[in-house]
Amino acid sequence: MSLYWKCQIAGWSFYGLLAAGIPTLYGGMRWTVALRAALGIAMGLFLTEQLRKFMLRRGWPWLPLHRLAPRVVLAAVVVATLMVLILLPLLLVNITAADPAGPLTTIFSIHLIFVLGWILLYLGYHNLRRVHVAEAEKLRLELAMRETELSALRAQLNPHFLFNSLNSLRGLITENPSHAQEAVTRLAALLRHTLQLSRARTTTLEDELEATRHYLELESLRFESRLQYEIDSDLESLDVAVPPMLIQNLVENAIKHGIARLPEGGSVRVTIRKSSQDLHIRVTNTGTLADEPGKRGIGLTNSLERLRLMFGEGVSFGIRQLEPSEVACDVVVPIATRRPARTASRPSSTVR
Amino acid sequence: LRALIIDDERLARSELRRLLGHHPEVEIVGEAQNATEARRAIDDLEPDILFLDVQMPGESGFELLASLEAVPLVVFTTAYDEYALRAFEVSALDYLVKPIDPKRLASTVERLLVTWRAGSASSLPGESRTDRAKAPLSPHDRVFVTEGERSWLVELGTISLFESEGNYTRVLFGKEKPLINRSLNQLEARLDERVFFRANRSQIVNLKAVRGIHPWFGGRLMAELEGGQEVTLSRRRARAFRELMSV
């Protein structure tokens, strides 16, 4: 049984006890007294339940105090009057005084106080619970926010990639010095791109593709013939805003979940297409999706959440098995030259 | 000290080879770029030490170790330390983070030599490698055991009891009792019967871990282990045990 009904029953039982007890003290127990108490309880339960539904329908719990107060008083008067009127025949039978007006006023006042108390208790509890729920919701949102923030930060600099690259580089220095020099330059460019992103909310497609190319070249040092790649873009202008690291992260995933698991390796292909309003980014890799259920879901959810933070609802994100041994990841983001919707720029104080 | 380098990246292998070039005590007998190649190389070359990359395509380094009947000395190599923590729990000899620091490698090699000399003193001199492959596993041989996120490299000698659980076997050592992916019969075939004694249909007991033997009803024997466990020797095995002891 809900707390509401427990309180209802306890409260109206107390009412019934008073309604039966007081006349009994004055004039002894009579069946009319018992009937009046029982009818009072039934009336109370029924009327307050109707009142509750009415208040919720009219949104009373959400009203400001100055508009709520007169409504509460009026409702209490109406309900108390109704109760007393319906009980009136039974009440009159039990009033022994010559003039029933005095006792009736007292009875009405008691009913009024009872109903008023009921409304205040109900609204008070309702409000308290709403505050709690809101608080919990706020916490949950903040947590989700921080989570995406964190995963974005983590994604910026994958230590595994960095140390593997450095290790390959160390080997390359004696083996092929000029190739090693080139790789150092690439790594520097990639790190610079990554570090600048911590300041910028967006980057241009041009910069992002450049960084992705560096990234793929560096991974090629590790994977050698196991990694083939291709970047294919049909855009004339690359001056389109994209979330930083978006393409690079997709490629990173393609390598981590695809190529790195295959002893024979495979290929990664980045395709960029533009429609009238959207930018279509597709990253395919050799491999199968079914490898790792569950684990992949979290990364997907985070990526989607990040995109939503940046672009609002106009984004789509999907990953699927394109062919028996090829996985495709598709991202569609609305095109906004240079600047996307600024939904992402929320005050940092809410995050700290 | 015969070493096998296992890493999926050619540059990483050649870099380690070059670094090990400064340590003539270590002879590199081969390289492997995945677990399958490594298993073959371990069978053919019988290395004393594996330099093992944890992350590889297909099977990981841990999976490779778990599939080996006996694990040689192992040094894990890893680009980032998320796996290294796990490696430490297995009390592997050492681990190296890539890029490898030559000084760190030198101290690792030094430690390896100490362990290796201590270990090889116990095996018979003049025993050829091919003989050893067919010979039963000695108490100094080690098996790699994983359960959930935890893993151990266990010397067979420290295992007090093997208990059959279907196609798996539960091994008791210290306070741990994980399952290993081999049947009790498979294990029995490779274990030295003078140390690891089949007590009954479902248990093999390490005789060195037995604290006392008591006669039991029906011609059976009851062995009490150091850990407090009690193992009943079936009538047939009790007879075999008496014979073994009387020799």
pLDDT band at B89 (very low <50, low <70, confident <90, very high): low
Q: Is A164 an interface residue toward B (CB < 8 Å)?
A: yes
Average pLDDT over residues B164-168: 90
Using CA atoms in the order B118, B122, B124, B125, what is the torsion angle rounded to 10 degrees? 20
Q: pLDDT at residue A350 above 60?
A: no
What is the per-residue pLDDT across A193-215, written as a single tens digit (0 to 9) for each? 877 766 666 788 888 899 999 99
3-class DSSP state for residue A310?
A: helix
Whether A113 and A107 have beta carbons less than 8 Å apart is answered as no
Task: Report pLDDT digits (tens) over A171-185.
Answer: 899 999 999 999 999
Whether residues A168 and B79 touch (CB distance < 8 A) is answered with no
pLDDT at A267: 94
Residue the block writes with tokens 């109206």: A12
* Residue B97: band (very low, low, confident or very high) from pLDDT cuts 50, 70, 90: confident
User: Token digits for B213?
Assistant: 């033997």
d(CA A222, CA B97): 16
pTM above 0.90, yes or no: no
Whether B34 and chain A come into contact, CB under 8 Å, resolves to yes
CA distances from B184 to B73, B138, B198 (A): 25, 17, 9
> pLDDT tens-digit profile of B49-78?
999 998 888 888 888 988 888 888 889 888
Q: Report which of residues B2 and A246 the model is more confident about.
A: B2
Nearest CA in chain B to A263: B57
Nearest Cα residue to A198 out of A257, A265, A152: A152
Does the beta carbon of B17 lie under 8 angstroms from any beta carbon of chain A? Answer: no
Of the pLDDT bands very low, low, confident and very high (cuts 50, 70, 90), residue B16 is very high
Q: Give the 3-state DSSP-derived string for chain B, with helices as H, strands as E and coil as C.
A: CEEEEECCCHHHHHHHHHHHCCCCCCEEEEEECCHHHHHHHHHHHCCCEEEEECCCCCCCHHHHHHHCCCECEEEEEECCCHHHHHHHHCCCCEEEECCCCHHHHHHHHHHHHHHHHHHHCCCCCCCCHHHHHHCCECCCCEEEEEECCEEEEEEHHHCCEEEEECCEEEEEECCECCEECCCHHHHHHHECCCCEEEEECCEEEEHHHEEEEEECHHHCEEEEECCCCEEEECHHHHHHHHHHHHC
Span of A8-17, A334-343, B166-175 with lowest mean pLDDT:
A334-343
**Which residues in A lie closer than 8 A to residue B55 (C-beta atoms)?**
260
* Cβ proximity of B5 and B45 under 8 Å: no
Q: Of all helices (H) and strands (E), which one includes residue A227?
A: strand A227-233
B55 part of contact set with chain A, CB < 8 Å: yes
pLDDT, tens digit, 9 for 90 and up, residues A214-266: 999 999 988 988 999 999 988 777 788 887 778 888 898 888 888 888 888 89
Comparing A351 with B214, which gets the higher pLDDT? B214
Chain B hits for A262, Cβ within 8 Å: 57-58
Confidence of residue B41 (pLDDT cuts 50, 70, 90): very high
Q: How confident is the model at residue B92 (pLDDT cuts 50, 70, 90)?
A: low
Q: What is the pLDDT of residue A156?
A: 60
Burial B167-194 (b: 16+ CB within 10 A, else e): eebbbbbeeeebbbebebeebbebbeee
Q: By C-alpha distance, which of B92, B229, B216 is closest to B160?
A: B229
Chain A nearest-CA residue for B33: A263
Question: Counting beta carbons within 10 angstroms of the beta carbon of residue A100, is it exposed (0 to 12), middle (13 to 18) or buried (19 or more)?
Answer: middle
Angstrom distance (rounded) from CA A261 to CA A259 = 5
pLDDT tens, residue by residue, A295-335: 555 556 666 776 777 677 778 888 888 888 899 999 888 88
User: Closest Cα to residue A269, out of A203, A326, A307?
Assistant: A326
Which residues of A are less than 8 Å from B8 in CB distance? 263
Q: Would you call A350 an interface residue with chain B, using a CB distance cutoff of 8 Å?
A: no
Render pLDDT for A128-183 as a digit per residue (tens, 0 to 9): 888 888 888 788 777 776 666 655 555 566 778 888 899 999 989 999 999 999 99
Whether residues A260 and B9 touch (CB distance < 8 A) is answered with no
Note the ipTM here.
Answer: 0.71
pLDDT confidence of residue B35: 92
- What is chain B's alpha carbon radius of gyration, rounded to the nearest angstrom? 20
DSSP state, A61? G
Q: Do B11 and A223 touch (CB under 8 A)?
A: no
Band (pLDDT 50/70/90 cuts) for residue A346 is very low
B79 close to A (CB below 8 A): yes
Q: Which residues contact B13 (CB under 8 A, 6 or more apart)?
A: B5, B7, B31, B33
- The tens digit of pLDDT for each residue in A17-74 reads 888 887 777 766 678 888 888 888 998 899 999 999 998 888 888 888 888 889 999 9
Q: Which pLDDT belongs to residue B30?
A: 94
Please judge whether B79 and A260 are an interchain contact, meaning their C-beta atoms are less than 8 angstroms apart: no
Tell me how crowded residue B83 is: count the other CB atoms within 10 A of its CB. Answer: 20
Q: For residue B15, give the nearest of A170, A223, A261 by CB distance.
A: A170
A261 at the B interface (CB within 8 A)? yes
Query: By CA distance, what is A166's nearest residue in B?
Result: B99
Interface of A with B in 3-42 (CB under 8 A): none
Contact A171 B8 (CB under 8 A): no
Judged by a CB distance cut-off of 8 A, whether residue B88 touches chain A is: no
Angle, helix A295-311 to helix A101-156, in steps of 10 degrees? 100
DSSP strand E in A263-315: where? 266-274, 278-286
Residues in chain A with CB shorter than 8 Å from the CB of B10 are 224
Distance of CA A328 to the CA centre of its chain: 28
Backbone φ and ψ of A338, nearest 5°: 70, -55
**Smallest Cα–Cα separation from A83: which of A59, A51, A58, A57?**
A51
B12 in contact with A, Cβ within 8 Å: yes
The answer to whether A171 faces chain B, any CB pair under 8 Å, is yes
Q: Chain A: nearest CA to B79, how far in angstroms? A: 5
End-to-end CA distance of chain A: 41
Cross-chain residue pair B11–A168, CB shorter than 8 Å: yes
Tens of pLDDT, residue by residue over B174-232, are 888 888 888 898 888 888 888 899 999 999 999 989 998 889 888 899 999 988 889 99
Q: Minimal Cα distance from A227: which residue of B?
A: B9
The pLDDT value given to residue B21: 94
Q: Cis bond leading into A340, ω under 30°?
A: no
pLDDT tens across A90-124, in order? Answer: 877 777 767 778 888 888 898 899 899 999 998 88
pLDDT at B125 over 50: no
A347: pLDDT strictly greater than 90: no
By C-alpha distance, which of B144, B147, B138, B180 is closest to B162?
Answer: B180
**Which two structure tokens, joined as six digits, stand for A24?**
């009994």
Q: Which residue has the tokens 């037995």?
A: B210
Cα gap B177→B169, rounded to integer Å = 10
d(CA B40, CA B32): 9
Question: Residue A342: pLDDT band by 50, 70, 90 thresholds?
Answer: very low
Residue A336's pLDDT is 67
What per-residue confidence (pLDDT) applies to A246? 82
Say if B107 is an interface residue toward chain A (CB within 8 Å). Answer: no
CA atoms within 13 A on the CB side of A133: 6
Tokens 């306890």 correspond to: A10
C-alpha span between B27 and B47 (Å, rounded): 9
3-state secondary structure (DSSP) of residue A339: coil
Nearest-CB residue to B10 (from A224, A260, A263): A224
Q: How confident is the model at residue B85 (pLDDT cuts 50, 70, 90)?
A: low
Give the C-alpha separation, A197 to A216, whole Å.
19
Say if strands B2-6 and B196-200 run parallel, antiparallel, or are unpaired. Answer: unpaired
